Structure 1
Amino acid sequence: MNRRISSVLIILITFLIFASCGNKKAEQKQVSRIVSLGPSATEILFAIGAGDKVVARTAFCDYPKEVADIPSVGGFSSESENLEAIISYKPDMVYLFAGMHDSFIKPLENLGITVYVSDAASIKAVEDEILAVGKLTGCEVKAEEVVKQMNAELSEIKAKVTEAKNKSEREEYKMFWQIWDDPLMTAGKNSYINDIIEAAGWINIFGDVEQAYPVVSAEAVISAKPNYVIMTGSSEISGAFSNVVFDKEYIKLLHEQDDFWGVEYMGNSEITRPSPRLVNTVKEFADMMISYSKK
């Protein structure tokens, strides 16, 4: 594994694991200059109408397109970001992530800067975060509208999933989500991704594992007999899509099983971001489930 791939793995795994950490409540005062230290944070700020308050962001913040004009303070962890650079933008709020930016919290607070530490352990947590950030930024009304729209769309998706299941003779739609392949890592019960899988009407084959992002064996995946595999990470992919992900031995063995529908690699970072766009992910997976329910 080369250095670049190792860095991507560290960033992905660290973000997913520490996104489940508790949320440290920010001081309740309205802010006007924000440094965002994560893609989902930037998306939330723009979604609630606080995009004009963002004075700096990370190199991984790429949505919406307007963020391209905002200066970057570095990568997506305290190791690739510089505290002095963050402070140089004179923020009155820094929107960061537990576990990834712990070393920044105390120094920022000592300077009187509001710190909001993100928690993204579930869909509900994302909605709560949107509302909390809305209060801090004076965008409460828009934040409430965003959450209301998310819930309306999720309710519509749930109704369609329920209808499809009622019409189908099939009782289970089982999914394995490969977060990384070396080691083989997936989403457990206490993870944001598990919430996404279940909201879309699927059963996570490792949904009974308490650990948020456990390492599992290929044998365990095969014995669980998933109907479908989603991949969002591979040590053998460097940027562009590659068919090499389908050459994994456990995937070949799954294809030999009855009732296995296939595997799909999804490199789009939107899939795993705990932002308002999570609804798109739920809808995509729900449509997939509904399509298979008709077979």
Structure 2
Amino acid sequence: MLTIRWFRVTTLALLAWLMPALTSAEVCAVDDTGRRICLPEPAQRIAALSPGATELVWAAGAGDQVVAVVAYSDYPEMAKTVPSVGSHTRLDLEALISLRPDLVIGWVTGNPGEQLDALDDLGLPVFAIEPRTFEGVSSAIERLAVLAGTESTGFAEADAFRKGMASLRTRFQQASPVPVFYQVWDEPLMSVNDQHLIGKVITLCGGRNVFGDLDRLVPRISTEAVLAANPEAILAGGMGEENRHWLTRWAGFPELRATAQGNLFFVPPSLIQRPTPRMLEGSRLFCEKLETARARR
């Protein structure tokens, strides 16, 4: 009898100890600064503090849970209807707090550290992201999906991006190299190095970044440096989806190989300059431009 009673008491005690683990919906993920962020349950009110973060949250399947964005959060279309709380560099903290987010998605180098620290001091969980690799894009989507409880959608999106980029890598890994200059800005004139995600797209497509060895991710360069490098193809994004005028300056240098061969190409910046799933579409377009350059030899 004592043994049975002891068994019952022990079983009840064990169940009581296990119940919090069985009923808890706590979710955790490690952000891109190495911090482990845990929530008592999946986030239902998310603030995305950069356009890239907004896209990634939607890609993770949590768009319906976004209650705050910042300026230029223009994709997907539904993001334009969400209240804005300033810009990624100048947040309206009072407006943000009034929306009662239970998760804030920050951008590692895009949001001022003091503002993210202020949110952290207020007890708001801040999850900082900034993908620097193709795998980093997929990983960010998966981690956001875990925190939002939308794993089914998010993991599928991450896997589709991963497989799409792998397919491009396989297709172009034996392609003959094309010396490329990618113009990321006009005044001052700026490019990217090989460590930048756009630099990785150039490599993926079988291009050779003529400024790839420079130290800075986004180095300032001169017109003379571009002329000296004499790229076979020049690609630019411009300041808007239909703004191609950045290529006009290079058309004025007929001695440039890219100009002489007609390899001055426009790539919509939203498809290539944000580390989101749309980069797959931008990479396909980028690779097509380099294929065109090869065909013109």
Runs of 5+ in structure 1 lacking a partner? 1-21, 166-170
Matched, 1:201 2:206: yes
Aligned counterpart for 1:95 among listed residues 105, 118, 125: 105
The answer to whether residue 76 in structure 2 is matched with residue 61 in structure 1 is no
Q: Hey, what does 2:154 align to over in structure 1?
A: 143
> Contact (CA 8 Å) 1:196, 1:281: kept in 2 or not?
no
More RCO (CA 8 Å, sep 6+): 1
- The residue correspondences of 1:238-253 to structure 2 (distance < 5 A) are 241=242, 244-248=245-249, 251-253=251-253
The 1:241–1:294 alpha-carbon spacing in structure 2 relative to 1, beyond 3 Å, is closer
Give the aligned length: 261
2: CA distance between counterparts of 1:256 and 1:203?
A: 20
Q: Does the aligned pair in 2 maintain the 1:60–1:76 contact within 8 Å?
A: no
Shift of 1:274: 0.7
Cα distance change, pair 215–252 in 1 and its aligned pair in 2 (3 A): same
TM-score, normalisation: structure 1: 0.80
Q: Quick one: distance in 2 between partners of 1:133 and 1:123? A: 16
138 and 108 in structure 1: CA distance in 2 versus 1, 3 angstrom threshold: same
**8 Å CA contact retained: 1:24, 1:117:** no
The 1:100–1:209 alpha-carbon spacing in structure 2 relative to 1, beyond 3 Å, is same
DSSP-derived class of the 1:174 partner: strand
What is the identity percentage for the equivalent residue pairs of Structure 1 and Structure 2? 27
Q: Which moved more, 1:261-270 or 1:179-188?
A: 261-270
In structure 2, what residue type is equivalent to 1:66? M
| Alpha-carbon distance in structure 2 between the residues aligned to 1:132 and 1:275 | 14
- In 1, Cα distance between equivalents of 2:145 and 2:229: 42
Matched, 1:192 2:191: no
Partner of 2:170: 159
Q: What does residue 84 of structure 2 align with?
A: 72
After superposition, the Cα gap between the structure-2 partners of 1:282 and 1:138, relative to the gap in structure 1 and judged at 3 Å, is same
Per the TM alignment, residue 290 of structure 1 is displaced from its structure 2 partner at its CA by 2.4
Aligned partners of 2:209, 2:70: CA distance in 1, in Å? 32
- Uncovered stretches (5+) of structure 2, i.e. residues with no partner: 1-31
Contact 1:96–1:118 (CA under 8 A) maintained in structure 2: yes
Q: Trace 1:26-65 onto structure 2 (pairs within 5 A).
A: 27-29=37-39, 30-65=42-77
CA 1:173–1:258 in 2, change beyond 3 Å: closer, same or farther? same
2: distance between equivalents of 1:242 and 1:276?
Answer: 23
- Contact residue 26 and residue 114 of structure 1 kept, 8 A: no
- Secondary structure (helix, strand or coil) at the match of 1:185 reads coil
1:222 to 227, 230, 235: 227
| Native 8 Å contact 1:121 1:191 kept in 2 | yes
1:268 and 1:212, CA in 2 relative to 1: closer, same or farther beyond 3 A?
A: closer
Task: State the alpha-carbon separation in 2 of the partners of residues 45 and 108 from structure 1.
Answer: 19
One-letter amino acid matched to 2:294: S
Give every structure 1 segment of 4 or more consecutive aligned residues whose post-TM-superposition deviation is greater than 6 Å. Answer: none
| Alignment of 1:269 onto 2:270 | yes
C-alpha RMSD of matched pairs (Å): 2.3
Q: In 1, Cα distance between the equivalents of 2:241 and 2:150?
A: 37
